[in-house]
Chains A and B, each alone.
Chain A
Amino acid sequence: MRSLIACIVAALLALVCAATALSKETAKELARQPGWGRVYTVSGKVAVRENPALDALTVRVLKSGQKVRVDFVDDGWAAVFDPAEMVRAETRAQGYVRLAELHAEASPGAKPEALPRSEKPAKPEKPAKPPAADQAKKTGAKKQAPPQPFGEIRVADRKMAVRAGRDKDTEFKRLLPAGKRVRVDFLEDGWFAVFDPEEKVRDLSRAWGYGRDKFLVPEKDYAGQPLPEATEPAGKEAPAKGAQKQKNGDAVAYAVLSRQADLLRPLAPVVLRVRLDMPAPPAPEALRKIVREIWKAERRKNEDLQVEVLLPGMEKDGLAFAVARFHDDGRLKEFWWREVVLRTKR
């Protein structure tokens, strides 16, 4: 009898241990989930379009049962991402789908109710609620403490790349010049998540990307020349260099080379030539988002603006790598790129 009781107790203990281990795994898994957007399960075939318009090019087709992360909802359309996508940036979207064609599935960070068709786009500046914040809300915490600075301020000790992931082969996000101050946190595998130095919200989705820890030194250890902008308030553009300006369009730096209107043809578009500050050409999908951001930032009132993109080393007046024309509402009307310019040494 005693041995039977001992066996039952042992079995119960084993069950408790297994349950504890399982809940830890689940918690870890949840922590790995990006805390933004919503995960949807596709029912039936759904076309992913390059723009939020029915006549836009279909860039891929989602199959039934496939999961996608969805955000940047606008007028019944939403940007779709890989479900594991950590960075909430529209430039990383695979394309756009009509929300009506998707089927919602609950997920961490997702709202339980269905999104209305007329929902306005979530602004990238607005931080996605981290799971911890949700938990605080559920447990009855009435007031949240104001966000405090997190991580630490470090300085790039050389010109270095900020990338989309903790790997040198991931997508290039932006270039940090030597002396650039940044806020860093989430150190993992020798890579920091890199933020704006004035960032107050400790949320990976607000990071610029990831940078190697060994090139980001504490301020006191930095021996090089500081950047003039380092002492300026955050968000201010770098000083213009000649006729060129350094700007950021959704985490991609670019310089405006020229802006020309054809005086003989008043209906012809104004041509804006920009040079991207990227060592490697971006993929066409990313380039579409980049040109749209540039158009949004550079277009003057009611202007028909054509954006021409050049890469470092290309002749200022030479053949552009990519050209984009837009509808008045910012949707891409025409977009093409020339790989031939990549075939010659720059």
Chain B
Amino acid sequence: MYQTPMSRSILLRHPFFSAVILMLLLAPWPALAEQKIGFVNPQRVVNETRLGKTAKADLARYVAEKDRLAKASAVQIETLRKEAEAPGLSAQDRTRREELLRRKAAQHEQLLSENARDIKAEETRLLQYVMRRAEAVLEDLGKKGGYAIIFTDPAAVGYVDKASVDLTERVAQELDGRGK
């Protein structure tokens, strides 16, 4: 009987394939379940949930409040600058006003730096608030879905097949469901 090289090869390996298939069939299913891996994009959780959007609106309001303070301070500096540069001032008056301007300018710089620090801190607080609630959802989802690992940092792994393991949408929906 004529046999092609390919069919001969399969016949030769037949016992090996059988063993592999048998092993797969007999493998305990929970062990396979433990291999489930998920991925959640925190940025999308913030961007796509009501909770996250509210947090972003809160942050925008906070930034506007800080901007208002900075603008008011800038207006004061401008006024002091005009006063210091006004013609007809005595040398003593000019020195005093310039000193005042210099101090106010230093305060303004400090205010700007504090504002930037405060905004960063508020952003972190709000983000943490949202993510803490998202983590509670993730934990439930992980337990119920049998996930061993759920990544939240895409940079931590070399490759993630987002189409099959991305849980972001489910987390977002669940988070919105838990909110008011």
Contacts and interface: CB of A to CB of B under 8 A. Distances in A.
Contacts of A342: 180
Nearest to B65: A336
A343 B50 CA distance: 8
A174 B180 CA distance: 25
Contact of A344 (B69, B126, B179): B179
Looking at chain A's contact residues, the main secondary structure is: mixed
Contact of B178 (A319, A339, A345): A345
Looking at chain B's contact residues, the main secondary structure is: helix
A345 B179 contact: yes
A262 to B, nearest CB: 14
A158 B75 CA distance: 55
A340 B128 CA distance: 12
Given A55-B72, A319-B129, A342-B180, A335 B65 contact: yes
A341 interface: yes
A269 to B, nearest CB: 12
B62 interface: yes
A338 interface: yes
A57 interface: yes
Contacts of B180: 342-345
B129 A57 contact: no
Contacts of A319: 125-126, 129
Nearest to A55: B72
B85 interface: no
Contacts of B65: 334-336
A334 B69 contact: yes
Contacts of A338: 55, 58, 126
Nearest to B62: A336
Given A344-B178, A345-B180, A339 B72 contact: no
Interface string B166-179: 00000000000011
Residue of B51, B58, B62, B179 contacting most chain A CB atoms (<10 Å): B58
Residue of A55, A338, A343 contacting most chain B CB atoms (<10 Å): A343
Interface of A: 55, 57, 319, 333-345
Interface of B: 50-51, 54-55, 57-58, 61-62, 65-66, 68-69, 72, 75, 125-126, 129-130, 133, 178-180
